[in-house]
Amino acid sequence: MRRQYAPRLSIADRREQVLDAALQVIVRDGYAKVSIEAVAREAGITRPVVYSAYDGLGPLLLALLDRQQIRAIEQLEGLIPDTLSPGDPGGFALRAIEAWMNAVVTDPMTWRPILTQQYGTPEVVRDRIEATRGHIRQQLSNLIFSGYAESLPDTEVAAHMLLAVLEHFGTLLLEDPPRYEPARMAATLARMLTALR
């Protein structure tokens, strides 16, 4: 009994399909369960087809990371302002925080692997995620400098704190069911920021 042939796809479409399947496995079963075999099963194809798309699990996960990283950064575009408008103490922060949390609940497939995991396998991968974090943190640092220079002179450490809190809020939203309303978390954070001016 020969198995039914999967539809033939161009290499580009195949790669998309494989990445979709890998992401599905990761979100459903966690990183521990990801394997070429599991991805093939998920996609309804056989291992050799997966190998025709990527040279192994490492390159596959790296490609997935590339794709998801682009999606994540696209969602962050424009969320972080360059400076704080002086007349609007907590308002803008509140809106930005809520927009970020909205992005997380809207597209959990993208955010779950970023927020709840460090890719333990290839060092390269972890480094790249951390590099992106560093970039975001730099923007946050500038922002803090523009609005909180007197109360928080160490903007670098302050940016670490802020990003840690934002990421933690994100993970809380990914719990099932979400523990708190986005507005509730944003309110407390905005309150703190306001108090610091």
Contact residues toward a second copy (CB under 8 A) are: 30-32, 116-122, 151-152, 154, 157-158, 160-161, 164-165, 167-169, 172, 180, 184-185, 187-189, 191-192, 195-196
For residue 191, the partner it binds in DNA, a second copy, none, with Cβ less than 5 to 8 A by kind, is a second copy
**Cβ within 8 Å of residue 174, ≥6 positions away:** 104, 108, 111, 112, 115, 116
Residue 6 found at the interface with DNA (CB under 7 A): yes
C-alpha span between 180 and 182 (Å, rounded): 6
Q: How far apart are CA 39 and CA 22, in angstroms?
A: 5
**Nearest distance from residue 122's CB to DNA, in Å?**
12
Is residue 87 within the footprint of DNA (CB under 7 A)? no
Q: Tell me if 35 contacts DNA by CB under 7 A.
A: yes
Give least dist CB 91 to a second copy, A.
Answer: 18
Residue 41 burial by Cβ neighbours in a 10 Å radius (0-12, 13-18, 19+): middle
Dist CA 64 CA 106 (whole Å): 19
Question: Which residue shows structure tokens 């220079």?
Answer: 149
- Judged by phi (left if over 0) then psi (alpha if -120 to 50, else beta), residue 54 lies in beta
Site track 43-72 with DNA (rule: CB under 7 A), x = hit: --xxxxx-xx---xx---------------
**Count of Cβ atoms closer than 10 Å to residue 19 Cβ:** 22
10 contributes a contact to DNA by CB under 7 A: yes
Amino acid (one-letter) located at 15: R
Binding partner selected for residue 47 from a second copy, DNA, none, CB under the kind-specific 5 to 8 Å limit = DNA
Question: 148-177: which residues touch DNA (CB under 7 A)?
Answer: none
Site of interaction with DNA (CB under 7 A): 2-10, 14, 35-38, 45-49, 51-52, 56-57
